[in-house]
Chains A and B, each alone.
Chain A
Amino acid sequence: MSALILISVLAVLVLYLGLYNKKSWLAPLGILGLAGAIVLFATGWHIPHHLLAGMLEFDRFSIGFSIGMAAITLLIFLFGPDYYTRMQQHVAEQYALMLFSLVGGFLLSSYTNMLMLFLGIEILSIPLYVLAGAKKNSLRSTEASLKYFLLGSFATAFLLMGIALLYGLAGSFDLGVISAHIAGAGSSDLVLNFALFFVVTGLAFKVGAVPFHFWVPDVYQGAPTLVTTFMATVVKMAAFAGFYRFIDITGMPDALARIMVLLVLATLLVGNVAALRQTNFKRLMAYSSVAHSGFLLLALLTDTGPGSTVGATLLYYTFTYSLATAGLFVLFTIAKRANNGAEHNGIFQGLFAAKPWLALCGLAMFLSLAGIPLTAGFIAKYQVFLLAIGAGWLKVMGFGVLMALLGIYYYIMVARELFVPAEHPTTFVVTPLNGLVISACAIGVLLLGLWPALMAW
């Protein structure tokens, strides 16, 4: 709880600093506060199941996710000063909105009450609607913001409808009471099935699962790259943490399992197949994000109740995915600047000749996203498939393996560009801080791939 307050106050402080035009102080202050929040969360590690007024529960799952999200936000803030060098206005607001959104992420990883789920989703999303349109003179950014806002509000309406139905059935917002009601109800309870369906629809939108994924490519492409990075990493982690906490209490009744299987199959198929044809790097990463949602949903599908290792797998998968994605977006920004703002996959050409270390880092991150052994991405997918086998979803697992193989192709296609000599001379400008962020992401991905036990609890 103290970390929640710290981050909320930090966001307000950052807003205040914006008033005094202290642009260079914003990122250091934010980084300091985030580090403080990580320490505060870590001190709660040994007090498991710390309940807060029946609304929030700080267990190992939520603390792990919160630390993970704060750490990724910290990496993004390290990238911030360089990203915002040419921007003079509203920088403070953007940092503050990201911190507000992070507070929503903390809530989503620790709620035990449907009210907090709703508030968490809204606190996570509303700053994002604004951040997506932060480049006010760009049509694409404005389009992304409006599209995300309209579709996001629609999804929230579904979520609210589901919560209302659950409240009507169980007479309480408390997850424990709802869980007991679901366990007692038959699988043919139509109202209950509709309630579960609506809540899952609202959450599936947030994680970008097919058929609720239409916003993902446009929003990822239109939003400023720093915001896209935040959306693809921290928001993804938060949405899955929230999704897991809800799925965990339902005990996966048959009706819900059927919906989830359809979501998994559709998401895996559309995400991977559509990514094959993308030439714009941001859109590629958007479909890659959809594809990874498919694997994560497969992990969720195997969750049949408390006490499983699904939570640990989700944390490992989302965190390592976020590390690789964050590092690649920083690399992308460097390459985009070197190519006068072009966004196609070819902008990485010549990187190996100019900056061999960065190119190798980029390769490691691409391989991790593809799931090649020795990287964290492989261990993550392996754990998901093990879970699926353990739960008896063999056919779905087989389809997942097929799609993972398909996914290797498009990651390698882009990774290949890193080593192709440039057609025309390009100069990549890398500030020390950016180099540090990329190296940290790549080393983290490799380290966690070699010693997955680092993140086990």
Chain B
Amino acid sequence: MVYLFYLFAAISVIAALVVVAARSPINSAIALVVCLLSIAGHYILLNAQFLAMVHVIVYTGAILVLMLFVIMLLNMNEEVEVRKPLITRILAILTAGLLLLVLLAATRQGLEMSAPESFNPGIGLVKAIGMALFHEFLIPFEVSSVLFLSAMAGAMMLAKKDGTEHVNLPPSSEPKDPAA
């Protein structure tokens, strides 16, 4: 198990480095897939099969495919090198360095902290999640359906073509709308 952990850890770190270092956006996205898959491996090692499956389906399955689509639609597959002014680069390094410092400090503090609840190895199993979802958290589960329904209805309303002309006027010349 420990060797598997080191294997997955090495894959995630290397893949994450490739995401940042790759010149082509497509390679970046594919490296991200590898990175996310290896993180799913970590979840399985932690006995959280359900989370691992959802992670693979949602992140690698849905979100990254969407990202790849966008990259291909925008035709960004040729190697693009983004030139940034020196000051931007210095500021970016400074910001990232500060973030690293904070994260390191937080991790060091976190080592000394103890969780209020002890770790339950059965918590990530499908059965445990099902029990929590359909017993203790049944009402939030049902109520979230209202949320998704309203989001879908709203998305349809905004996205549907309905004969209104496109918005291409500057704000000042917007025609007065007597309807409202």
Contacts and interface: CB of A to CB of B under 8 A. Distances in A.
Interface of A: 8, 11-12, 15, 52-53, 55-56, 83, 86-87, 89-90, 93-94, 96-97, 100-101, 103-104, 107, 113, 115-116, 119, 122-123, 126-127, 129-131, 133-140, 142-143, 168-171, 224-226, 333, 336-337, 340-342
Given A89-B162, A135-B180, A140 B139 contact: no
B157 interface: yes
A115 B157 CA distance: 28
Given A97-B154, A136-B162, A119 B177 contact: no
Contact of B174 (A93, A107, A113, A140): A140
A83 B180 contact: yes
Task: Report the 3 A-B pairs with minimum CB-CB distance, sorted nearest first.
Answer: A130-B154, A100-B150, A341-B176
Contacts of A89: 162-163
Given A115-B140, A116-B140, A86 B154 contact: no
A90 B150 contact: no
B158 A130 contact: yes
B179 interface: yes
Contacts of A139: 167, 169-171, 174
B171 A87 contact: no
A100 B157 contact: no
A55 B139 contact: yes
A130 B160 CA distance: 13
A333 B116 CA distance: 56
Contacts of A86: 179
B112 interface: no
B177 A123 contact: no
11 contacts: A93-B157, A100-B153, A116-B143, A119-B144, A127-B153, A130-B158, A136-B167, A137-B177, A139-B167, A139-B170, A140-B174
B103 to A, nearest CB: 16
Q: Which of B150, B158, B163, B171 has the most CB of A within 10 A?
A: B150
Contact of A52 (B139, B151, B178): B139
Contacts of A137: 164-165, 167, 177
B164 A136 contact: yes
Nearest to A333: B180
A216 B116 CA distance: 40
A383 B176 CA distance: 42
Given A101-B150, A107-B143, A127-B150, A140 B116 contact: no
B91 interface: no
B123 to A, nearest CB: 13
B137 interface: yes
Given A107-B143, A119-B144, A126-B150, 17 more contacts: A12-B149, A53-B138, A55-B140, A86-B179, A97-B154, A97-B157, A113-B140, A116-B143, A119-B147, A126-B154, A129-B154, A130-B155, A136-B162, A137-B164, A139-B170, A341-B177, A341-B178
B1 interface: no
Nearest to A129: B154
B167 A138 contact: yes
B153 A96 contact: yes
B147 A140 contact: no
B79 interface: no
Contacts of A104: 146
B74 interface: no
Interface string B38-58: 000000000000000000000
A133 B171 CA distance: 15
Interface in B124-158: 137-140, 143-144, 146-147, 149-151, 153-158
Contact of A169 (B116, B149, B160, B174): B116
B177 A135 contact: yes
A117 B179 CA distance: 37
B164 A127 contact: no
Interface in B34-86: none
Contacts of A169: 116
Given A116-B139, A139-B169, A15 B153 contact: yes
Interface string B104-130: 000000000000110000000000000
